[in-house]
Chain A
Amino acid sequence: DAKTTQPNSMESNEEEPVHLPCNHSTISGTDYIHWYRQLPSQGPEYVIHGLTSNVNNRMASLAIAEDRKSSTLILHRATLRDAAVYYCIRNYGGSQGNLIFGKGTKLSVKP
């Protein structure tokens, strides 16, 4: 199956770190792991992506397991604005592949 597996929902407290897990046990060697998020009534927004090693940017960090069968998106300090649906996606088919979205994880952030 080309899709990934994520928990349906998670809760976090404001200003605490959040770890969003994702399983992609059938991933092939050339498939990247992408994370997007979607705020209510908006289009998806890119968060981060990576292949094998851990990746960091201004929004988040991506930790990829050594066997690449799972990964974790890390938000270092959650804010109310981070409440969204987070999609873990593999671009099935490598460089010529398309993004295959699942249902994502709905993250709630409590003040």
Chain B
Amino acid sequence: NAGVTQTPKFRVLKTGQSMTLLCAQDMNHEYMYWYRQDPGMGLRLIHYSVGEGTTAKGEVPDGYNVSRLKKQNFLLGLESAAPSQTSVYFCASSTTRGYSEQFFGPGTRLTVL
């Protein structure tokens, strides 16, 4: 099993450009999450999904949109990138929400100029 994979690994954007980050998991997990991590900080939850076709806001959702059209995929979109969105983005998945292990992907390093 590949676990949780993220595409792309690195990306540089100009202010105002848009992009989509893809997260895929092959563990048949119901729950998926998008986090961002700024230098020297812990992870902050952007959006999460409790199942196919559902999404919900996390701690820092502004400027991001998400979609979960298929159970195994969770997409994170930036419609108009800003320098404040420069960060490392991690995707995770789990079988339950609060009580089980979350499996994390390797991260996407995004720089917005």
A46 touches B45 (CB 8 A): no
Binary interface encoding of chain A residues 13-49 relative to chain B, with 1 for a CB under 8 A from any of its CBs, else 0: 0000000000000000001100010000111111001
- Shortest beta-carbon distance from A38 to chain B in Å: 9
A91 touches B98 (CB 8 A): yes
A44 touches B90 (CB 8 A): yes
B98 touches A101 (CB 8 A): no
B103 touches A93 (CB 8 A): no
B90 touches A43 (CB 8 A): yes
CB closest residue in chain A, given B106: A43
CA distance A31 to B98 in the complex (A): 8
How big is chain A's contact interface, by range?
Answer: 20 to 34
Residue pairs across A and B with CB atoms within 8 Å: the count is 59
B102 at the interface (CB under 8 A from A): yes
Residues of B within 8 A of A94 (CB): 98
B61 at the interface (CB under 8 A from A): no
Q: How many residues of B contact A (CB 8 A)?
A: 25
Residue in A31, A43, A98, A104 whose CB lies within 8 Å of B42: A104
Residues of B within 8 A of A31 (CB): 98
- Shortest beta-carbon distance from B85 to chain A in Å: 18
B98 touches A32 (CB 8 A): yes
CB closest residue in chain B, given A30: B98
- Shortest beta-carbon distance from A41 to chain B in Å: 8
A: residues with CB less than 8 A from B are: 31-32, 36, 41-46, 49, 87, 91, 93-104
